[in-house]
Amino acid sequence: MAISPEHQIYTELFSDSPDMAVEFLRKRGVRIPDYESSEITSCDLGHVDPVERRSDVAIMLRGEGPNGPSDSLMGVIVEVQRDEKERKRFTWPEYVACLRSRHECPVTLLVICPRQPVADWYADAIPLGHPGFVLHPLVVGPKDIPVITDPATVAASPTLGVLSAAAHGARKAGVLDALNSGLDKIDPEKAAKYISYSLHLLADTDGQQALEALMMANTFDYHSPWVDSLRAEGEAKMLLRVLTALGVEVTEDARERITGCHDLSQLEAWADRAPDITTIDQLFDA
């Protein structure tokens, strides 16, 4: 089954920041051992069984233990679920048991659900049949994700800032402003990636339009294919408005050429030339 872009983005966020999963577990009262490092480990939890068993993200917490300074202290399996699937109630216990067997340490299951009704559905306990053998998934829905309106918090934990924007950006004031300002404080390449993630997770919402407006304000200097395309789109729209205000007749072919141009430098050159032309053909003259 193909993995959706939304599913992949959530997976990437926790792969980028495994400690974020640990913090969600702490808030649910899970006792976390004192660990020195958190690392992504193999998601392939199969054995000789030809059926693939692969979790979305598998995290291993390592530190001083009986087997040395980099012992496996605890495993965390992160599963992203967008829809209700009864089959997961059978595969998740297997994921936990396989990772526990491989590393010989406790393992916890964390389920991330972008939609609250889905999160509520997955919160039910999973009895395995053996007396007392019950798995209680620890589920995170939108209501469990903090509302972040502090840019410094976004800068310190940009992945959490993206989660907050996806969960609350369309409804809560200040969330997108904090994301915008906070990402301006981190590495530009990472910032471009996370702003692109946020735009995708906010697709078809007022939040997406609000974030696009912030991007168009050019308050920071992000560069990615997605971000640059947004800027080009805005520049093209502005150029067409300027031409209309100047009384220059824009043919359909010219309109398509302008809106189809994704080269910011070219669009800016046309905008500089616009006040000095009387016909649309002059705009495109070298």
Enclosing domain of residue 111: 5-144
Last residue of a domain, one of 144, 166, 200: 144
Q: Are 57 and 105 within one domain?
A: yes
Give the span between the Cα atoms of 117 and 108, in whole angstroms: 22
Q: Are 21 and 137 within one domain?
A: yes
pLDDT in tens, 14-68: 999 999 999 999 999 999 999 999 999 876 655 444 444 567 899 999 999 999 9
H or E element that contains 75: strand 68-80
Q: Are 21 and 71 within one domain?
A: yes
Give the span between the Cα atoms of 143 and 137, in whole angstroms: 16
Last residue of a domain, one of 197, 222, 247: 222
Give pTM, 2 decimals: 0.75
Q: Which of 53-57, 74-78, 112-116, 126-130 has the lowest mean pLDDT?
A: 53-57
Number of domains within the chain = 3
Q: Are 213 and 242 within one domain?
A: no
Contact 237, 208 (CB under 8 A): no
Label residue 62 exposed, middle or buried (CB < 10 Å: 0-12, 13-18, 19+). Answer: buried
Is pLDDT of 178 > 80?
A: yes
Q: Are 90 and 21 within one domain?
A: yes
Is pLDDT of 80 > 80?
A: yes
Q: Are 157 and 267 within one domain?
A: no
